[in-house]
Structure 1
Amino acid sequence: MVRGKTQMKRIENATSRQVTFSKRRNGLMKKAFELSILCDAEVALIVFSPRGRLYEFASSSIQETIERYRSHSRINNTQTLSESAENTQHLKEEAENMMKRIDLLETSKRKLLGEGLGTCSIEELQKIEQQLERSITKIRAKKTQVFREQIGHLKEKEKTLIAENVMLSEKYDKYSSQQAKKGDRKNIAEGEAFAASSDVETELFIGLPETRTRISPSLRTN
């Protein structure tokens, strides 16, 4: 018979709850005993039933185990409190150092902007001037670099546009040549047609139908 999975919630039936408590309690006691024997561990187990009845197991003495637990807890709590106090003090010192650095940076920023220079000595003013000169040199170098990069991009774009212009010019020249050839062929054809039509003889007669005479083409042209 397959054992179903037990649902982890309070058993509503009192009889079933008591039976389950007895079985699980005995199994827990057995596991505690096995752990103490197999692993040579100091084990103490305290269980109160729903009705308040006490069940306990100890591999040596339950009172000694409880005292050992309390002593261990006090040591750990003391260490934890000491470490917490040290961490808090360290954080306070770091916060103070950060505030001092922020104040120094704010003061230096105001001086670089030309503010609060009344209390500065000659040496401090010279240092500020040198710092500004170094900053200006870096800014100018960066600006020159940016200009050069932009010029390079524009030159590359110019080369691309020139290549495209050459390609379009070649296409236009080829197209114009084709159109010129088509025009020449059309003119030749029209000339040939005109020449052919000029060779056609036409008859011209003068006078009444009964007495009209034919005029030769040579006379007409004269």
Structure 2
Amino acid sequence: MGRGKVQLKRIENKINRQVTFSKRRSGLLKKAHEISVLCDAEVALIIFSTKGKLYEYSTDSCMDKILDRYERYSYAEKVLISAESETQGNWCHEYRKLKAKVETIQKCQKHLMGEDLETLNLKELQQLEQQLESSLKHIRTRKNQLMLESISELQRKEKSLQEENKVLQKELAEKQKAQRKQVQWGQTQQQTSSSSSCFVIREAAPTTNISRREVGGRCSSAATGSRWTTTMDA
């Protein structure tokens, strides 16, 4: 039969309470030593009896070191919790602040678009009108500035194109001039060749006549000799 659940409560008998304290204290100190050895943990145990007597256990007899570490950890944890609470509060406040700003901006935007004007009085409508007129003035100023900049850019491009056109016209005129010179030089060469040919033909013609005369004279001499020879024979 299993052991029933023991209800924990203060032992009324003084002697039994002291005996139980001694037994449980020894067992608790033993368990603290075991967990420090088995798990390589730093353990600090402090026990005060009902008479105020101190019983303590610490790993490697460095109770002060463990207590200092505990105090630092406890203080850091408190600071962290406090900082988190403060940060959370600040974030909530910032959220409400930003939400109000967004709602105000959305409301102003609707007014500028001509919506939800029923809630505005005469003074607020006049202020809205002045704001729109001022906005239109800035818009027109910016538009005119952009138009002037665009015109200046187009003028600059026009000037650049005109200069480029002048350069191209100059190059074209130089090419045409070179072509005309080449054509003139070709015609001059043709004329020179024609003149040389005519000169050669004219120089060759008298030589041919002289040859014919010489040939004719030789033939006449030969004929005369033949006649003279024939007469002598007769």
TM-score bin (small chain): 0.5 to 0.7
Distance 2:91 2:140 in 1: 42
Q: Computing the radius of gyration over CA atoms, which structure comes out larger, 1 or 2?
A: 2
Counterpart pick for 2:36 among 48, 67, 80:
48
The answer for unaligned runs of 5 or more in structure 2 is 1-32, 44-57, 206-234
Does the aligned pair in 2 maintain the 1:110–1:116 contact within 8 Å? Answer: yes
**More divergent stretch after superposition (176-185 vs 190-199):** 190-199
What is the SS of the residue equivalent to 2:38? coil
Q: TM-score, normalised by structure 2?
A: 0.55
- Code of the aligned partner of 2:60: F
1:45-102 CA-to-partner distances (Å, cap 9, x unmatched) read 99722399x973335xx3x766666566555444433332222112111100111110
What is the SS of the residue equivalent to 1:48? helix
**More divergent stretch after superposition (87-96 vs 188-197):** 188-197
What is the SS of the residue equivalent to 2:59? strand
For residue 116 of structure 1, what is the aligned residue in structure 2? 116
Shift in CA distance, 72/189, structure 1 to aligned 2, threshold 3 Å: closer
Q: TM-score, normalised by structure 1?
A: 0.57
RMSD between aligned alpha carbons? 3.4
Distance 1:179 1:73 in 2: 100
Structure number with the higher helix fraction is 2
- Residues matched between the structures, number: 155
Shift in CA distance, 79/194, structure 1 to aligned 2, threshold 3 Å: closer
Shift in CA distance, 183/83, structure 1 to aligned 2, threshold 3 Å: closer
Instruction: Give the alignment of 1:21-32 within 5 angstroms.
Output: none
Does the aligned pair in 2 maintain the 1:112–1:132 contact within 8 Å? Answer: yes
Shift in CA distance, 194/99, structure 1 to aligned 2, threshold 3 Å: same
Distance 1:142 1:107 in 2: 26
Instruction: Give the alignment of 1:105-184 within 5 angstroms.
Output: 105-184=105-184
For residue 95 of structure 1, what is the aligned residue in structure 2? 95
Instruction: Give the alignment of 1:55-70 within 5 angstroms.
Output: 56-58=59-61, 62=63
Deviation, 1:150, is: 1.8
Provide the identity percentage. Answer: 23
The answer for unaligned runs of 5 or more in structure 1 is 1-44, 203-222
